[in-house]
Structure 1
Amino acid sequence: MTEERSPKKQEVIETEVSLGTVHPAALEPYRVRLFVEDEIVNDAEITIGVNHRGIERIMEGLPVEKANALTEKVCGICSNAHIWNSVLVAEKGLGIEVPERANYIRIIMEELERLHSHLLYLAHGSEVLGQETFSMRAFYLRETSMELLRMIGGNRVQYGASIIGGVRPRCELNDMRIQKIAEGMDFIEEGTLKFADRFVSDPMIMSRITGVGKISQKQAKKLEVTGPSLRATGLAQDLRTTMKEYEPFDFDVITQDDGDVKSNILLRVLEIPESIKIIRQAIKDIPNGSITNRSWEMFDCDHIKSYIEVPRGTLYHSYAIDDGRVRGSIIRTPSMSNIGAMQHACIGNHITDAQLCIVQCDPCFTCTDRAIEIINR
């Protein structure tokens, strides 16, 4: 009689793969811990803190207008959004009316910034996919929006356009500048359509991005995802539809349904024509009049809050004014919410797709990198 042998137990070992803080496919320093079993990601952890600069602490006690200017240093991609929202805080607290023409210029600046941000996203995403040609094409299109921002604001990265009560005199739009903007919109729209047509026609790219990094709408709500990453799950939520600054403009809120890398990429491609539509309306219907209201007085006020829609989602600024100086500044960027989605998107995917799952949410870790934790010992 032969002795029966029990089946040998298979031991499963989970391996941790740590990437960063400097990663060849990342624009900013951060650390990713991937917990992998048989090359499939079971869990992920993203840690920031390497690039902390303490901007909110530096703002404490600064005169309001100087503090507003400092907020541009939070992010080199959405610098206009930060100074605009910081200025909106003061304008709401002080009850300042902004000239209509100034508001139109602010909207043009913000939508040009959305164009350059989305095109940067497409360029960086193509680079992560290993598609250098598509990456360079997107950067080539982005250059037009960067040059238009330079023409209006005087710089390519930090424009200093918004001030309390309006925009700076150097940002005034004459006929020549309006014509340049119109020509730039034609160029970007035509180039984006060609880019999208070539991109979605490539079977290797589409097979690589379809179904990868999928996030359900239910999970996105639970993680409080914001911006395009939320709209890529099918939820039509765009703060611009509730902002009074955007009331004169007609545009569609773009959504995609699958919540994967493909949906995130296509959504941003389709949002580019909507931004162009807004800019064209603004330059066509821009009202006459002043671009700055300086007839206001500074006074003390409690914390004022302002929310606006920026390229990555909802941006929050808040501070109080005491003797003309900023107190208790708080800045919350979209990536602070979206980090949870980046981590969740990695789970269940192959380790080689982890970085692609992260960048699909268009992370901006440097502008998020301001929070500090105080530990009492």
Structure 2
Amino acid sequence: MDEKIPNSKIIETEIPMGTVHPAALEPYRVRLFVEDEIVQEAEITIGVNHRGVERIMEGLPVEKANALTEKICGICSNAHVWNSVRTAELGLDIEIPERASYIRIIVGELERLHSHFLYLAHGCEVLAHETFSMRVFYLREIVMELLNMIGGNRVQYGCSVIGGVRPRCELDSKRLERLANDMDALEEGLTDFVNRFTSDSILMSRITGIGVLPQKQAIKLDVSGPSLRATGVVYDLRTTMSEYDPFDFNIITQEDGDVKSNLMMRALESFESIKIIRQAVKNLPEGPVVTHDWEMKDTDIIESRIEVPRGTLYHSYALESGRVRHSIIRTPSMANIGAMQYACIGDQITDAQLCIVQCDPCFTCTDRAIEIIRR
């Protein structure tokens, strides 16, 4: 109680944000419970984007179901179709051509770059620094044009199919040369951005120590991806994926689990994606990009997990007469919602949206979860 104000008392207040908010890329609802401008509790509710994708997939031919998964998200569309196709390949014991695996890696890492650049640009926008935001969007545009070159589309590239990649995604010498040259341009531009960003004392003071997620809490909440590694946990699912065995890259970590650590995670991890793409371009094996040497059969429920820009993406389904049964899709943001809520607590209400954004939420592809309320 403030002694200068007789009989004063703290009044708990609820501040609603959303479902549409200028700092949010998608609709979701945030409830902030504050006392004297300090967030004491936060609640994030999704459900606005629910489209029943898993129900629609039920009974579809597996090829059509795979194509549908690409529509789940406009940021990680390739990740969804890759993991859905990978699920079928695991169940049907399909060994894809090595060249196809390399092309999948190239597209996957390009998607990681465009996702991380979007994250950095959005973060700068929330920080009210439009110049930095536009600089990153310029770099992202290079990546989007590369994805368009490979798949013929800037959002849904339709790269992976059962047995490999589509023939239209084949990389000839001109495409490989452009990829190599653009990696040099991206590295130069990203280096310049990171140097400018980290040397801005006002920005750095604004994001240091804000939205702290302790490592123990991150593990307890089952946080994954860069948001987990930002707390110092050395874990990247790519190190367990056979597709990444031929590539040399570092697992980037930060220690503080705050907004600064999360922003630096994505920036530094982007350098590793550039490194992986360069290796794939340089060592791209000869051979076909797709195999048709496999037969459809019924399977039990098959599970596949891959590392996508936000963490661990889970797909599972069974095959019955070539059709999908019992599909379940779980995205990283499902687990990371807890981290977003926790990160707000103890900070000023003006920092709340920044604390949420630091976990890189993607609720459009998360929106299939249900909450069971026990009475």
The TM-score, its normalising length taken from structure 2, stands at 0.97
Per the alignment, in what secondary structure is the counterpart of residue 335 of structure 2?
Answer: helix
Per the alignment, in what secondary structure is the counterpart of residue 266 of structure 1?
Answer: helix
2:194 corresponds, among 172, 193, 196, to 196
| Post-superposition offset of 1:295 | 1.2
| Post-superposition offset of 1:9 | 5.5
Aligned residue in 2 for 1:320 = 318
Cα distance in 2 between the residues matched to 1:129 and 1:170: 40
Say whether residues 1:347 and 2:341 are aligned partners. Answer: no
Say whether residues 1:50 and 2:48 are aligned partners. Answer: yes
Aligned residue in 2 for 1:358 = 356
Q: How is 1:255-274 mapped onto 2 (pairs within 5 angstroms)?
A: 255-274=253-272
| Post-superposition offset of 1:144 | 0.5
Aligned residue in 2 for 1:229 = 227
Aligned residue in 1 for 2:115 = 117
Q: Structure 2 counterpart of 1:59, which letter?
A: M
Q: 1:373 to 1:322 in 2, by over 3 A?
A: farther
Aligned residue in 1 for 2:216 = 218
Cα distance in 2 between the residues matched to 1:113 and 1:230: 20
Cα distance in 1 between the residues matched to 2:87 and 2:349: 43
Q: How is 1:13-32 mapped onto 2 (pairs within 5 angstroms)?
A: 13-32=11-30
Q: Structure 2 counterpart of 1:204, which letter?
A: I
1:275 corresponds, among 255, 262, 273, to 273
Per the alignment, in what secondary structure is the counterpart of residue 301 of structure 2?
Answer: strand
Q: Structure 1 counterpart of 2:65, which letter?
A: A
Q: Structure 2 counterpart of 1:71, which letter?
A: T
Q: Structure 2 counterpart of 1:229, which letter?
A: S
Alignment root-mean-square deviation, CA:
1.4
2:80 corresponds, among 73, 79, 82, to 82
Q: 1:354 to 1:255 in 2, by over 3 A?
A: same
Aligned residue in 1 for 2:287 = 289
| Post-superposition offset of 1:371 | 2.2
Cα distance in 2 between the residues matched to 1:376 and 1:135: 44
Cα distance in 2 between the residues matched to 1:354 and 1:139: 24
Aligned residue in 1 for 2:39 = 41
Q: Structure 1 counterpart of 2:185, which letter?
A: F
CA-to-aligned-CA distance 1:21-67 (integer Å, 9 cap, x gap): 00011010000000000000000000000111111110000000000
Per the alignment, in what secondary structure is the counterpart of residue 301 of structure 1?
Answer: coil
Per the alignment, in what secondary structure is the counterpart of residue 176 of structure 1?
Answer: helix
CA-to-aligned-CA distance 1:181-237 (integer Å, 9 cap, x gap): 011111111000000011011111001000000011001001110000000000111
What are structure 2's unaligned runs of at least 5 residues? none
Per the alignment, in what secondary structure is the counterpart of residue 16 of structure 1?
Answer: strand
Cα distance in 2 between the residues matched to 1:151 and 1:236: 34
Cα distance in 1 between the residues matched to 2:133 and 2:354: 14
Cα distance in 1 between the residues matched to 2:216 and 2:373: 34
Cα distance in 2 between the residues matched to 1:376 and 1:53: 25
Q: 1:298 to 1:374 in 2, by over 3 A?
A: farther
Aligned residue in 1 for 2:161 = 163
Cα distance in 2 between the residues matched to 1:338 and 1:213: 13
Cα distance in 2 between the residues matched to 1:284 and 1:230: 31
Cα distance in 2 between the residues matched to 1:116 and 1:187: 14
Cα distance in 2 between the residues matched to 1:128 and 1:54: 31
Per the alignment, in what secondary structure is the counterpart of residue 70 of structure 2?
Answer: helix
Aligned residue in 2 for 1:172 = 170
Aligned residue in 2 for 1:335 = 333
Runs (4+) of structure 1 exceeding 4 A deviation are 7-10, 373-377
**Which protein shows a greater Rg?**
1
What are structure 1's unaligned runs of at least 5 residues? 1-6
Q: Structure 2 counterpart of 1:235, which letter?
A: V
Aligned residue in 2 for 1:67 = 65
Aligned residue in 2 for 1:247 = 245
| Post-superposition offset of 1:372 | 3.7
Number of residues paired by the alignment?
371
Cα distance in 1 between the residues matched to 2:103 and 2:138: 24
| Post-superposition offset of 1:13 | 1.1
- Name the % identity: 74
Moved more, 55-64 or 7-16: 7-16
Cα distance in 1 between the residues matched to 2:221 and 2:7: 37
Say whether residues 1:205 and 2:216 are aligned partners. Answer: no
